[in-house]
Amino acid sequence: MSSSSEKRKAQTLAHGPTVNAIKRAKYEAKQEHRRRASLGGSDTKSSAHHWASWFNGREEYAAFITVQDVREIRKLRGENHASNNEGGRTSRLIQIADWIIPFFDLRETPTVRNGSERLFVSEGTEAVRMMAQRCLKCTDSPAGEISNSIDSRPPPIRLLSILSKPSTFFDSPTHLLHDIQERNLLGGSSATPPFKIVIADEEALSEIAGFRIARGAMACGVIPDYMQRNGYSWLKGLLSSVSTKLPAAINSTNQPNPIRRLLAFDAVSNAANVGSIIRTAAGLFR
């Protein structure tokens, strides 16, 4: 991407009216989709049938759940159940509960753990897309045992589960399924990917998270162990390749400052805060 393109992108990101217009367009598109769904349009029926058929043969790693399913799962949490002695539906809900537990009540438990591993939850379609693109195709090796042989890249992300609305996962323009298929992470209907996929409507997503979900998807992954050998090599390499001095050439030409800017967040769990911080940082871009 050219420097002029980056500057235009940063200016758009920092321009409040433009950001609001984009959000408004997305909101209106969502309302139109709901209106068509309430009228029982043929396109909605066709999509729903497509969603249902996609899950056939993928029960080991994928599920569609309703808000009623979520409420039943909440009742099952904390209780001891021998899954082999339970009925088919209860056994299935217990299985799905393990997939979505990291997403429960996010405001109350922003940091979750899975045994000795630290987990994180990202929210937003693009964040989930990035995680799928960087997903490590591995299910057995703990994050701390992963060798980072390429110093110029950060440690890979081990994706555990994706929680998404049907339209976000199956339909354009977001179409997360397309990205996952491009990465060949599903392999085929009989193959088991290294993560779980749970599809739910907005009401069910909100019931899981404990607050109204505005975005279309979330994902849970294992925080990479940056204390492992060479864990920070990618960051050291990034910084060492940048001069801390302003080159003399800048004084005689109009070349842009080559020094990279790093923006680090600590204990930030509100997406609105992240957006405001990024827009503020964009004001420092030249």
pLDDT single digits (tens) 115-160: 678 888 988 888 898 888 877 544 334 444 444 444 556 667 789 9
Our measurement of the distance from residue 103's CA atom to the centroid of its chain's CA atoms, rounded to an integer in Å, reads: 12
pLDDT value at position 250?
43
Comparison of pLDDT for 71 and 51, the residue scoring more: 71
d(C-alpha 50, C-alpha 53), whole Å:
5
Number of domains in the chain: 1
User: Would you place residue 164 in the very low, low, confident or very high pLDDT band (cuts 50, 70, 90)?
Assistant: very high
d(C-alpha 97, C-alpha 173), whole Å:
29
Domain of 86 in residue numbering reads as 45-222
pLDDT value at position 161?
95
pLDDT value at position 194?
84
Report yes or no on 13 lying in a domain.
no
Containing 207, the helix (H) or strand (E) segment is helix 202-209
pLDDT value at position 21?
73
Report yes or no on 57 lying in a domain.
yes
Report yes or no on 146 lying in a domain.
yes
Report yes or no on 87 lying in a domain.
yes
Average pLDDT over residues 197-217: 90
Q: What is the pLDDT of residues 70-108, one digit of tens each?
A: 999 999 886 665 544 566 889 999 999 999 999 998 876
Report yes or no on 193 lying in a domain.
yes
The letter for the amino acid at 68 is: Q
Q: Which 8-state DSSP code applies to residue 184?
A: T
pLDDT value at position 45?
44
Give whole-number Cα distances, 280 to 17, 47, 199, 204, in Å.
15, 40, 35, 34
Q: Which residues contact 238 (CB under 8 A, 6 or more apart)?
A: 152, 260
Is the pLDDT score of 180 beyond 70? yes
Q: What is the pLDDT of residues 246-284, one digit of tens each?
A: 445 444 445 555 566 778 887 776 667 777 888 887 777
d(C-alpha 7, C-alpha 90), whole Å:
54
Report yes or no on 21 lying in a domain.
no
> Left, alpha or beta for 117 (phi > 0: left; psi -120 to 50: alpha)?
beta
* Three-state DSSP string of 102-150: HHCCCCCCCCEEECCEEEEEEECHHHHHHHHHCECCCCCCCHHHCCCCC
Average pLDDT over residues 181-188: 69
Q: Which residues contact 155 (CB under 8 A, 6 or more apart)?
A: 143, 146, 148, 224, 225, 226, 228, 231, 234
Report yes or no on 123 lying in a domain.
yes
d(C-alpha 73, C-alpha 76), whole Å:
5
Report yes or no on 176 lying in a domain.
yes
Contact between 182 and 216 under an 8 Å Cβ cutoff? The reply is no
